[in-house]
Structure 1
């Protein structure tokens, strides 16, 4: 990684216990209600949340079209940590280039995502780290999308 580039790192404090926040990241039924940018929806073609297992999903974006992602859960420590890859793919699960997926040449074909969950009283601090250049994530809107998704997740957690 070039010296002037830094990975995406976001911290967010949720008003909910750690086990409940962790569950929102690992339960496909809960994920589909918050894990997509504003104006978009997500569908899982397959998902099994356990170490070594995979997911294959599509973000339906009415403006930019569908974005298929597949990945592998590399580490799961309930309710403390999730590590998974996010790989650009097509609907058949074949890996595709960033350009073929409608991304810029600067966007990596594979991103490693690490999410840690820290209990702070009755709240949970979520720290999201992705191996994508933060400035590129801001340029594409991916960075900003995390904040809107976290806001939607907080609303869901508050109403349940």
Structure 2
């Protein structure tokens, strides 16, 4: 789904936004590589205890990542992420939702990578829902807790990557 199919996603609004940030003890280029390289992304993405099963991954503008996120209890969550904007090594923007066309629950997902002089990276994740009600539902489902668990997994993963 494009922003023209869902006009709410083309205008940012704080009442529809979820923001999470984390300082990661790794250089920006390495953190960006973990997000943008198809061999790394599925290895760490998702909350604690979740596994990723990838069907298709093409990390480029217009490319798609189709995958199942499998919960610790075996529940399967079909996902699709379309890459909208990639500005190496500072920004990635995606539309994220279930693996179906014209997903009404799709949200805009923006990740920024800020390099620090001490060799660390400040990563910020911003999720924009199409309505305040959708945002509240995402929070109720655990988007904030799951988002921070995902960032914890990213930090651990890049800690093990060769620098």
Give the C-alpha shift of residue 4 in structure 1: 8.8
For 1:144, the equivalent position in structure 2 comes to 145
Q: Once superposed, which parts of structure 1, at least 4 consecutive aligned residues long, lie more than 2 Å away?
A: 3-6, 94-97, 132-138
- Work out whether residues 87 and 95 of structure 1, in 8 Å CA contact, stay in contact via their aligned partners in 2: no
Secondary structure at the counterpart of residue 111 of structure 2: strand
Secondary structure at the counterpart of residue 28 of structure 1: coil
Secondary structure at the counterpart of residue 32 of structure 2: helix
Give the C-alpha shift of residue 33 in structure 1: 2.1
**Structure 2 unaligned regions, length at least 5:** 1-7
Out of 4, 7, 22, the residue aligned to residue 12 of structure 1 is 22
Out of 122, 125, 129, the residue aligned to residue 122 of structure 2 is 125
After superposition, the C-alpha distances for 1:111-145 in whole angstroms (9 at most, x for unaligned) are 11011111012011111111135543331112101
Q: With structure 2 as the length reference, what TM-score do the two structures score?
A: 0.79
- Work out whether residues 91 and 113 of structure 2, in 8 Å CA contact, stay in contact via their aligned partners in 1: yes
Q: Which has the higher helix share?
A: 2
For 1:116, the equivalent position in structure 2 comes to 112
Secondary structure at the counterpart of residue 69 of structure 2: strand
Give the C-alpha shift of residue 96 in structure 1: 7.3
Out of 37, 44, 48, the residue aligned to residue 47 of structure 2 is 37
**How many residues were matched structurally?**
145
Moved more, 112-121 or 150-159: 150-159
Superposition RMSD in Å: 2.1
Q: Which has the higher strand share?
A: 1
Give the distance between the partners of 2:72 and 2:155, measured in 1 at CA.
24
For 2:35, the equivalent position in structure 1 comes to 25
Give the C-alpha shift of residue 62 in structure 1: 3.8
Give the C-alpha shift of residue 64 in structure 1: 6.5
For 1:61, the equivalent position in structure 2 comes to 71
Q: With structure 1 as the length reference, what TM-score do the two structures score?
A: 0.81
